[in-house]
């Protein structure tokens, strides 16, 4: 009998967004007629200047180890970006370049958590957050963003869950899966509670360029917050670089030092070539990303209208990111033509994939079983087909 495996690891769930994306890609590779709105992955190619920067890095022999925290030139450029766009002044020593933003979330939590520490996670949340907290021995504490408040949490709700064990809050603004965007005023109210309770704040801002109404504010830019915040961002979504795996943490110096140590032991550093590609991205600026945002806005409007029609209800238009988190609980209790009762979001997504070849993600994975998530970072053609398939699936339920 082999010895048992790590309990900590056995106790965490696999990422459902990643699992659904992999399953859909496998089915497509097998020749099945599947449309995937599973993973949030822009359908546009990586812009040419970024690819050129990577080619150039290979041609000039940038194929060896870099510093664990990433190459200095990239960290300087990240500082410039944070200063210019977010009003946040950092030194390059405070930046750690990571293998995607997910890795930056892991680093941040690993730097902060002791066993039993509570980490507040506004729900609905991205699938990865609670699992990483648990894996590191922390305790996720969920605060439900109510649908009538556009799925956002309030300062009052936050105050109620803070106690001696609360170590940090993990914010995601704009939010995956809901697309909610916190206004400056809302962030100021939350920041007041965060400061009063002496919490750290991890702020995942990967969707910052995809805001359709109002402007984006980093919570770290609010008075009293920068020295207790770890700002996370990445290139996957904003520069169509999902497969390149580049993200970063910007943190107070003592935390950055610890993150550098973790990274030096765990991964050494992200790919040297991909880091040069990221420099190419920052040199481009964000004009291309903002053009992409305008395309996403049209796709969002299309999805809100078509999915709303299929469900026979008016849906809210998400203010940011590229996801539609639609309430589908009105069909729970109905049965499929094969006689299976749809009991929740997992049953519904399974049925839609099996019967119509449409991959979407159950809200249960994000802490809200009443909804399902559609990623509209997909081609117009796929979105049109997805809406037809969704409508047909809903219509077939008795």
Which residues of the chain form contacts with ligand GLU (CB under 6 A)? 15, 17-18, 39-40, 102, 126-128, 176
Nearest to 137 by CA among 158, 119, 123: 119
Q: How many CA atoms lie within 13 A of 387 on its CB side?
A: 21
Write out the two tokens for 232.
Answer: 């996370």
3-state secondary structure of 359: strand
Task: Please report how close the Cβ of residue 41 comes to ligand GLU at its closest, in angstroms.
Answer: 6
Q: How many CA atoms lie within 13 A of 118 on its CB side?
A: 14
Contact partners, residue 289, CB within 8 Å, separation at least 6? 209, 210, 238, 239
Task: Please report how close the Cβ of residue 388 comes to ligand GLU at its closest, in angstroms.
Answer: 22
**Closer of 145 and 260 to ligand GLU (Cβ):** 145
**Closer of 276 and 390 to ligand GLU (Cβ):** 390
**Closer of 128 and 173 to ligand GLU (Cβ):** 128
Task: Please report how close the Cβ of residue 172 comes to ligand GLU at its closest, in angstroms.
Answer: 10
Task: Please report how close the Cβ of residue 199 comes to ligand GLU at its closest, in angstroms.
Answer: 25
**Closer of 206 and 231 to ligand GLU (Cβ):** 206
Residues recorded for the chain: 398
Task: Please report how close the Cβ of residue 104 comes to ligand GLU at its closest, in angstroms.
Answer: 12
Task: Please report how close the Cβ of residue 206 comes to ligand GLU at its closest, in angstroms.
Answer: 8
Task: Please report how close the Cβ of residue 130 comes to ligand GLU at its closest, in angstroms.
Answer: 13
Contact partners, residue 40, CB within 8 Å, separation at least 6? 17, 176, 237, 321, 322, 323, 375, 377
Task: Please report how close the Cβ of residue 107 comes to ligand GLU at its closest, in angstroms.
Answer: 16
**Closer of 126 and 182 to ligand GLU (Cβ):** 126
**Closer of 81 and 102 to ligand GLU (Cβ):** 102
Strands 247-250 and 229-234 turn out to be antiparallel
**Closer of 226 and 300 to ligand GLU (Cβ):** 300
Task: Please report how close the Cβ of residue 207 comes to ligand GLU at its closest, in angstroms.
Answer: 9
Provide the Cα torsion 263, 228, 78, 101; round to 10°: 50
**Closer of 17 and 229 to ligand GLU (Cβ):** 17
Task: Please report how close the Cβ of residue 283 comes to ligand GLU at its closest, in angstroms.
Answer: 25
Specify whether the backbone of 342 is left (phi greater than 0), alpha (psi in -120 to 50) or beta: beta
Helices (H), the chain: 7-10, 16-29, 48-59, 72-86, 101-112, 128-135, 155-161, 184-196, 253-266, 272-284, 287-311, 345-356, 380-396
Cis peptide before 347 (omega within 30 of 0): no
Instruction: Identify the burial level of 133 via C-beta atoms within 10 angstroms of its C-beta, where 0-12 means exposed, 13-18 middle and 19 or more buried.
Output: buried
**Closer of 130 and 260 to ligand GLU (Cβ):** 130
Strands 35-36 and 118-123 turn out to be unpaired
How far apart, in Å, are the Cα atoms of 74 and each of 247, 248, 356? 11, 10, 45
**Closer of 17 and 385 to ligand GLU (Cβ):** 17
Alpha carbon distance, N-terminus to C-terminus of the chain: 49
């Amino acid at each position: 009998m082999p010895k048992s495996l790590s309990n900590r690891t056995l106790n965490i769930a696999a990422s459902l967004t990643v699992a659904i994306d992999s399953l859909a890609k496998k089915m497509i590779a097998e020749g099945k007629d599947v449309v995937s709105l599973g993973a949030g992955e822009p359908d546009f190619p990586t812009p040419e200047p970024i690819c050129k920067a990577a080619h150039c890095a290979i041609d000039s022999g940038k194929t060896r180890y870099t510093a664990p925290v990433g190459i200095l030139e990239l960290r300087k450029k990240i500082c410039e970006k944070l200063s210019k766009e977010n009003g946040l002044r950092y030194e390059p020593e405070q930046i750690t370049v990571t293998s995607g933003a997910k890795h930056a979330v892991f680093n941040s939590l690993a730097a902060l958590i002791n066993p039993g520490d509570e980490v507040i996670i506004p729900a609905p949340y991205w699938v990865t957050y609670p699992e990483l907290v648990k894996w590191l021995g922390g305790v996720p504490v969920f605060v439900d963003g109510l649908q009538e408040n556009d799925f956002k949490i309030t300062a009052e709700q936050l105050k109620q869950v803070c106690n001696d064990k609360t170590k940090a809050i993990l914010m995601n603004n704009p939010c995956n899966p809901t697309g909610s965007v916190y206004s400056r005023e809302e962030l100021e109210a939350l920041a007041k509670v965060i400061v009063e309770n002496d919490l750290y704040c991890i702020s995942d801002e990967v969707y910052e360029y995809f805001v359709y109404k109002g402007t984006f504010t980093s919570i770290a830019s609010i008075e009293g917050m920068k020295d207790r915040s770890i700002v996370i961002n990445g290139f996957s979504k904003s520069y169509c670089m999902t497969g390149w795996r580049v993200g970063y943490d910007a943190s107070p110096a003592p935390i950055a030092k610890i993150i550098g140590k973790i990274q030096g032991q765990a991964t050494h550093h992200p790919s040297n070539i991909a880091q040069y590609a990221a420099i190419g991205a920052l040199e481009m600026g964000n004009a291309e990303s903002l053009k992409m945002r305008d395309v996403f806005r049209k796709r969002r409007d299309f999805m809100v209208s078509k999915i709303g029609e299929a469900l026979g209800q008016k849906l809210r238009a998400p203010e940011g990111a590229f996801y539609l988190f639609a309430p589908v609980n009105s069909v729970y209790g109905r049965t499929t033509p094969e006689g299976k009762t749809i009991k929740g979001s997992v049953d519904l997504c399974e049925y839609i994939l099996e019967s119509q070849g449409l991959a979407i993600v159950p809200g249960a994975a994000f802490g809200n079983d009443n909804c399902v998530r559609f990623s509209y970072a997909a081609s117009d053609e796929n979105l049109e087909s997805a809406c037809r398939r969704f409508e047909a699936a809903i219509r077939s339920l008795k």
